[in-house]
Amino acid sequence: MITGRQQVRGKVILAGAGPGDPGLITVKTARYLQQADVVLTDRLVSEEILNEYVKPDTEIVYVGKQCRRGVSTPQQTINELIVQFALEGKLVVRLKGGDVSIFSNIMDELETVVSNNIPYEIVPGVTAALGAAASAGIPLTARGYSTAVRLLTYYKSDIVSDEYWKELAETNDTLVFYMSSETLQNVVEKLTENNIAEDKLLAVVEQATTPLQNLHICSLYNYDEQLKLQSFISPSLVIIGKVVALHEQFKWLENSHSTEYYFKPVNQLTAIENLNKATLNATRV
Ligand code: SAH
């Protein structure tokens, strides 16, 4: 609990911005952005959304995180900023890429607002799996191909039991891996060691739903020849399953062949500025 001025309570809106294409934001989130006093935004949020919906006098604070870059805004700083702004009576929109509850730190932020008695609302967004599937023409639970989807992530340090890998290789569920392009080699090895069926293909969708989208598809058994040396542009999402073959029939977007970034990498200055700001503000509470 962060103690301080208790009398005024603003409100915190935890909202998803969708996967990239600014058209994929919900009307509800767009309306909250138009009313916001402060927007705390992630790296994977389209600049166009901020430009289009946020009023010129609204304060925008970049609190991006980027795995393995070592320049992320610490979660504690984000929590403190949320509380400080809310205690000033402000309408705070905490804007996250995709959906707010999928592979995000929503728990920390929910615990923070609840323990500080700050009113809040959760507004969902289109998660990257759904955005990527749509823009790649891959129906995730196509009849006759798959009856379920699993949203997964895999870090090398994760302990995943041998039984679970075996089950992942055997299931007909479509597998979607978030934040896993750097461990993809490992994922492919585990699934092929467990004899995943040859008709299950692998797709990597880079910068899905943006004008810079690229899609790579291969058989898991040809991964070494076809994709092993590829370094994927962040953010990228991996889809594995029989449904991936449907791309050939239903693709409606060509690869951009661009290697530029749609979402700017988190820059050191932003992270440090935020840290300083939080430190300064901490004395004001
Ligand atoms: N809350 C987000 C996920 C955050 S985790 C959501 O619901 O989508 C960040 C990961 O999401 C990235 O590493 C990547 O795997 C995936 N991701 C987010 N946006 C993406 C995009 N436009 N294209 C491809 N992958 C994306």
Residue 265 alpha carbon to ligand 1 centre in Å: 14
Helix or strand (DSSP H, E) at 218: strand 214-219
97 lines ligand 1 (CB under 6 A): yes
Indicate the pLDDT class of residue 250, thresholds 50, 70 and 90.
Answer: very high
Residue 209 alpha carbon to ligand 1 centre in Å: 11
Judge whether 211 and 197 are in contact, CB under 8 Å. Answer: no
Judge whether 123 and 36 are in contact, CB under 8 Å. Answer: no
Q: What is the pLDDT of residues 210-236, one digit of tens each?
A: 999 999 999 999 999 999 889 999 999
98 lines ligand 1 (CB under 6 A): yes
96 lines ligand 1 (CB under 6 A): yes
Q: What percent of the chain has pLDDT over 90?
A: 81
pLDDT at 68 over 60: no
Residue 65 alpha carbon to ligand 1 centre in Å: 12
- The token pair at 59 is 């304060």
227 lines ligand 1 (CB under 6 A): no
Residue to mutate, 41, 108, 175, 178, ligand 1, most ligand atoms under 8 Å from C-beta: 178
Q: Is 42 a catalytic residue?
A: yes
pLDDT of residue 7: 54
43-52: buried (b, 16+ CB within 10 Å) or exposed (e) per residue? bbbbeebbee
The domain locations on the chain are 11-126+263-282, 128-250
Question: CB atoms < 10 A from the CB of 250, how many?
Answer: 11
Helices (H) and strands (E) in the chain, counts: 10, 10
Q: What strands, in cross-sheet order, belong to the sheet with 214-219?
A: 149-153, 174-178, 236-241, 201-206, 214-219
Q: Is 199 a catalytic residue?
A: no
Q: What percent of the chain has pLDDT over 70?
A: 88
3-state helix, strand, coil split of the chain in percent (to 5) is 35, 20, 45
Size (the chain), residues: 285
CATH class of residue range 11-126+263-282: alpha beta
Judge whether 114 and 124 are in contact, CB under 8 Å. Answer: no
Q: What strands, in cross-sheet order, belong to the sheet with 120-123?
A: 59-62, 38-41, 91-96, 11-16, 120-123
Q: Of these residues, 21, 37, 42, 99, which one is catalytic? A: 42
Q: What is the pLDDT of residues 153-209, one digit of tens each?
A: 998 777 789 999 999 999 999 999 999 988 999 999 999 999 999 999 999 999 999
Pick the CATH number of 128-250 from 3.30.70.20, 3.40.50.1000, 3.30.1360.40, 3.30.950.10: 3.30.950.10
pLDDT at 283 over 50: no
What whole-number distance in Å separates Cα of residue 182 and Cα of residue 81?
A: 31
Dihedral angle over CA of 212, 138, 106, 274, nearest 10:
-10
Beta bridge partners of 9: none
Residue 75 alpha carbon to ligand 1 centre in Å: 18
130 lines ligand 1 (CB under 6 A): no
